[in-house]
Amino acid sequence: MKWEIVMGLEVHAELSTKTKIFCGCSTEFGGEPNTHVCPGCAGMPGTLPKFNRQVLEYAVRLGLTLGCDIAKRCTFDRKNYYYPDLPKAYQVSQLYAPICRNGGLTIVGEWGEKFIRLHQIHMEEDAGKLVHSAGNVTLMDFNRGSTPLLEIVSEPDFRSAAEVIAYLEKLRETLMYLDVCDCKMQEGSLRADVNLSVRPAGEEKLGVRVEMKNINSFKAIARAIAYESERQIDVIESGGTLIQETRRWDDDKGESYGMRSKANAADYRYFPDPDLPPIVLGDDELARIRATLPEMADKKRERYIADGVSAKVAASITAHKNVSDLFEDIVRHSGNTKESANLISGEVMRLLKGDDADIEQLDVQDGQLGRKLGELVKLVADGKINRNAYKEVVGVVFADDGIEPMRYIEEKGLLMVEDSGAAREAVAAILKDNESAVEDYRAGKQKAFGFLMGQAMKKLGGTASPDVIKSTLTEMLEG
């Protein structure tokens, strides 16, 4: 029998707001345990939540970009469950009237183009973190508690692990370009739950679904999907019964195990949060947010290609938002798109070792690196410095942000000699030091010219172009 895998995704994105969703505590990652905590986010009785409107703005930015219907009025609900990382014993979330419904995104791959539909996007708060340590001790850190999240819920439209990965990559790119989430999977800012079931090919009815929670890398997601779909097919084919449950994926062991039987919405006893009034979004505010939407990666790629950048290089530049910001800074200061693209895909990638983590660390916020590299691109394109000097100064500027390229170039004498005065001086000295070669040349030995040329090049250290040296040398030998 042929089986079809059916999957839906619930992605949690931690928003990069400075403060939490219902209080003024910092959302910064890490920190001493329980230092980013107040009575509100620690769930103390008698405290009241105050909604951080930036969260709404971020949700609307994502919703507009993904073509969702934006609710003019949305509400918060309490999702009740008890777990030690949730001191209130309920999570504030949205069930009945979420901020975004519908919409979706297109993924491209071996299947061609495919539209993945979204069910909804809602705002909610994160839970704290349990730290299991030696001696059977579990500690609680509430720093992460009440960090704002967007939960992006898809329809069950995925049929393969490759489609899931393509979707997550596209979603990550979108969140990064919108500047609403840093998407560091290793820090848990982007977490995916996969709901998976199998059914005989051609069957309409969905099978029993299993939820796999918080898998923390794209590679692990692909492995977990392969494992879980095979496990379900085995159970059915051997006459067993699947149960609806939540399973944890152990990437080290390469297997999943059951955590708990999966609760349905009714089990959470959702009800409207009486402490939070409905959120009303005015037309003017919606228009204002729409006007702040940045250019997205695929639009940038199209624009770069139209400006003469190859499709491959354009894709590598836009793969990281900070790299495309850097590229645009360089172009702005150099006025030279092609040379700027070559710099990014060549020397810059070499310096960053093409490593994703290193690339993500690159901070280009203040625009200074782009300005300096732009100046260098202009200098090399105008023939003011040669390629070797260019490479050297690019490396120096990268390694030390205190270096001003022009000052460095002047100090090191890397500027090309424009008038032939300096070249004449150098050539005169060479001719004086190599009288026998000069005589050889005048006696008709062409080889001697090459030798003298080499000496002059060496002496000028690449600061004069070979053309200038050649014409100066010829003129002085003949003259």
The residue ranges that bind Mn ion (CB under 5 A) are 151
- Give the integer Cα–Cα distance in Å for 193 and 212: 5
Nearest residue (CB) to Mn ion, 151 versus 157: 151
Q: Which among Zn ion, Mn ion, none contacts residue 41 (Cβ within 5 to 8 A by kind)?
A: Zn ion
Nearest residue (CB) to Zn ion, 43 versus 461: 43
Please state the closest distance from residue 40 (CB atom) to Zn ion, in A: 5
Nearest residue (CB) to Mn ion, 14 versus 151: 151
User: Hey, what long-range contacts does 389-394 have (CB within 8 A, 24 or more apart)?
Assistant: 389/414, 389/462, 389/463, 391/347, 394/343, 394/347, 394/348, 394/351
Beta-strand ranges (E) seen in 343-462 are none
Selected binder of Zn ion within 11, 13, 41, 427 (CB under 5 A): 41
Stretches 40-48, 275-283, 292-300, 379-387: which one binds Zn ion (CB under 5 A)? 40-48
Size of the site for Zn ion (CB under 5 A): 5
Please state the closest distance from residue 38 (CB atom) to Zn ion, in A: 3
Nearest residue (CB) to Mn ion, 77 versus 151: 151
Q: Which tokens hold the place of 297? A: 């990666």
Please state the closest distance from residue 25 (CB atom) to Zn ion, in A: 3
Strand partners, 197: 6
Nearest residue (CB) to Mn ion, 74 versus 456: 74
Nearest residue (CB) to Zn ion, 25 versus 161: 25
Q: Which tokens hold the place of 21? A: 């969703």
Stretches 17-25, 131-139, 429-437, 463-471: which one binds Zn ion (CB under 5 A)? 17-25
Q: Which among Mn ion, Zn ion, none contacts residue 151 (Cβ within 5 to 8 A by kind)?
A: Mn ion
Selected binder of Zn ion within 23, 215, 352, 369 (CB under 5 A): 23
Residue 169 Cα to chain centre, angstroms? 9
Cβ–Cβ < 8 Å for 179, 186: no
Selected binder of Zn ion within 25, 175, 196, 417 (CB under 5 A): 25
Q: Any idea what DSSP says for residue 245?
A: E
Please spell the DSSP secondary structure of 431-469, one letter per residue: HHHTHHHHHHHHTT-THHHHHHHHHHHHHHTT-S-HHHH
What x/- string results for residues 327 through 366 when contact with Zn ion is judged by CB under 5 A? ----------------------------------------
Stretches 32-40, 295-303, 410-418, 449-457: which one binds Zn ion (CB under 5 A)? 32-40
Nearest residue (CB) to Mn ion, 151 versus 339: 151
Amino acid sitting at position 6: V
- Give the integer Cα–Cα distance in Å for 395 and 448: 37
Q: Which among Mn ion, Zn ion, none contacts residue 145 (Cβ within 5 to 8 A by kind)?
A: none
Q: Which tokens hold the place of 332? A: 């702005």
Q: Any idea what DSSP says for residue 348?
A: I
Q: Does 38 bind Zn ion (CB under 5 A)?
A: yes
Please state the closest distance from residue 27 (CB atom) to Zn ion, in A: 10
Cβ–Cβ < 8 Å for 221, 198: no
Please state the closest distance from residue 109 (CB atom) to Zn ion, in A: 42
Q: Which 185-244 positions form the footprint of Zn ion (CB under 5 A)?
A: none
**Dihedral sign from CA coordinates of 390, 395, 396, 401:** positive
Residue 255, SS3 per DSSP: strand
Please state the closest distance from residue 126 (CB atom) to Mn ion, in A: 9
Burial environment of residue 171 by CB neighbours within 10 A (0 to 12, 13 to 18, 19 or more)? buried
Nearest residue (CB) to Mn ion, 151 versus 228: 151
Distant-in-sequence, close-in-space partners of 370: CB < 8 Å, separation ≥ 6:
325, 326, 327, 328, 329, 330, 332, 333, 364
Nearest residue (CB) to Zn ion, 21 versus 178: 21
Spatial CA neighbour of 393 closest among 352, 356, 345, 343: 343
Q: Which among Mn ion, Zn ion, none contacts residue 38 (Cβ within 5 to 8 A by kind)?
A: Zn ion
Nearest residue (CB) to Zn ion, 25 versus 330: 25
Please state the closest distance from residue 167 (CB atom) to Zn ion, in A: 33
**Residue numbers of the site for Zn ion (CB under 5 A)?**
23, 25, 38, 40-41
